[in-house]
Structure 1
C-alpha cells in the first residue's frame, strides 16, 4: 500500500509540467495583448489581469503542489546521502515556490519595483528557479552512485548547468525585456523535461519492484 502511494507521488513530476504548460498556452491565447517572447509567464497571473485566476489557481498553485509531491518522492526513494537529500529538498522547495508565486501575484507588467505582494512574488520566483537548478545539479552527481539513474546522471548535470545559463540570459534581459519570455520558457522547458524523465523512470521502477516481488 505504501509503495503504491510513493509510486503515485512520482506522477507529480509528469502531470505538473503538463498542466502548467497547458494553462500557460491557454492564458497566452486568451490575452491578445500578451507576447510570449518578451513577457514573463507571471504576467498571465498579474493582479487584475483577465487571466489572473486561470494562471494562478489552475496553473501556478496546483502545478507547484504537484512538483512538491514529486520532490517528496525523490526524498523518499533516492535520498541515499547528504547531497541527494539536499537536492530532493530543493525540488520540494521549487514546488512550494511555484505555489507561493501563484498566491502572491505580481503587478501588471511584473515591474522590479511595485506593491509588497509583487515584491514577494519576485523574491519567491528567484528562490524557486535557483532551488530547481541547484537541486538538479546535486541530484545529478548523486545519480552516478545509483543504478536506477546512473545512465542519466550526465544528462541531469547538463540540465542543471544549461538551466543556469538560461537563467543568466533571462536576468540579463530584464532591463530591455527583449526575449525575456523566450529565455524563461526555455528555462522552464529544461526543468520540465527533466522532471518528466525522472518521474517516468521512478514510476517504471516501482513496476519493476512489484514484478520482482511477485
Structure 2
C-alpha cells in the first residue's frame, strides 16, 4: 500500500467519529420522541423503529467501512511492529462488527428480558465492537513512543481505555434503573471514537515520523 492510499485510510479514521456523531443525531431526528439520554443507539435500528432501515444505512455500514479502512492503514503502516499491526486488525474487526450490528437488529426497545436470536447476535456484535476498540487503544499504551516517537499518545491511550472501562458499571446500573443509559453509552463509545480521531490526526501530522517498510524492530 503506497503512502497516498495510507493517508486516505488515516483520513477515514478522522472522518469516522464525525460521521458517528452526525449520523446518530440525524437518525434521532427521524425518530419521534427519541431520547439520546435514556435510549441506546441500537434502538435507532431496532425492529419496529421508524429509523429501522435508515439507521444502519446511515451509521453502521458507512462506519464499518471507515473503521476497516483505518485499520488496514495501520496494518500497512507498521509492518515491523506486531502490536501495531494487531491494533489495526482489531480496528478492522471493530468495523466488520459494526456492519453485523446493523444487519442484525435488536428487538423493539432492545428489551433484554427475553431477547430473540437476532438480538443476541446484535448484542454479541456490539460487545465485540467495544472489546476490539478497547484492546486496540490499550496496545498503544506500550508502543506509542517506539512506533510514533510520541510519548503523550501512550498516556492518552491509557486514559481513554480507563474511561471506557470505568463507564461499564454506570451503563449496567443504567440498564437496571432505566435512566441514563444512552448518555453513558455515548460517553463510552465517544471516548473510544475520540481516540481514533486523535490517532488519525496524529498519523496525518507531517511532523510525525512514521516507520519505513524496512524498519526491523518494534
Task: Tell me the TM-score normalised to structure 1 length.
Answer: 0.89
- Equivalent residues in 2 for 1:87-102 (5 A)? 87-102=87-102
* Structure 2 residue matching 1:109: 3-state secondary structure: helix
Once residues 77 and 156 of structure 2 are traced to their aligned partners in structure 1, the CA distance between those partners, rounded to angstroms, is 19
Shift in Å at residue 59 of structure 1?
A: 0.7
Shift in Å at residue 23 of structure 1?
A: 1.4
Q: Give the paired residue count.
A: 209
**Partner of 1:49 in structure 2?**
49
Shift in Å at residue 37 of structure 1?
A: 0.8
- Equivalent residues in 2 for 1:109-148 (5 A)? 109-112=109-112, 113-148=114-149
Once residues 208 and 90 of structure 1 are traced to their aligned partners in structure 2, the CA distance between those partners, rounded to angstroms, is 23
- Runs of 5+ consecutive residues of structure 2 not aligned to the other structure: 211-218
**Partner of 2:25 in structure 1?**
25
Superposed CA offset, 1:21-79 (max 9, x none): 11111122222221111110010111231112221011111111101111111222135
8 Å CA contact 1:86–1:135 kept in 2: the answer is yes
Deviates further, 164-173 or 19-28? 164-173
Once residues 206 and 98 of structure 1 are traced to their aligned partners in structure 2, the CA distance between those partners, rounded to angstroms, is 32
Once residues 10 and 167 of structure 1 are traced to their aligned partners in structure 2, the CA distance between those partners, rounded to angstroms, is 29
**Partner of 1:195 in structure 2?**
196
8 Å CA contact 1:106–1:117 kept in 2: the answer is yes
8 Å CA contact 1:23–1:54 kept in 2: the answer is no
8 Å CA contact 2:39–2:182 kept in 1: the answer is yes
Residue 182 (structure 2) pairs with residue 185 (structure 1) = no
Once residues 163 and 156 of structure 1 are traced to their aligned partners in structure 2, the CA distance between those partners, rounded to angstroms, is 11
Cα 1:29–1:180 change in 2 (3 A) is same
* Structure 2 residue matching 1:174: 3-state secondary structure: helix
**Partner of 1:69 in structure 2?**
69
- Runs of 5+ consecutive residues of structure 1 not aligned to the other structure: 210-214
Deviates further, 83-92 or 51-60? 83-92
8 Å CA contact 1:16–1:63 kept in 2: the answer is yes
8 Å CA contact 2:31–2:49 kept in 1: the answer is no
8 Å CA contact 1:137–1:161 kept in 2: the answer is no
**Partner of 1:152 in structure 2?**
153
Shift in Å at residue 88 of structure 1?
A: 2.2
Superposed CA offset, 1:144-166 (max 9, x none): 32244333111111111111111
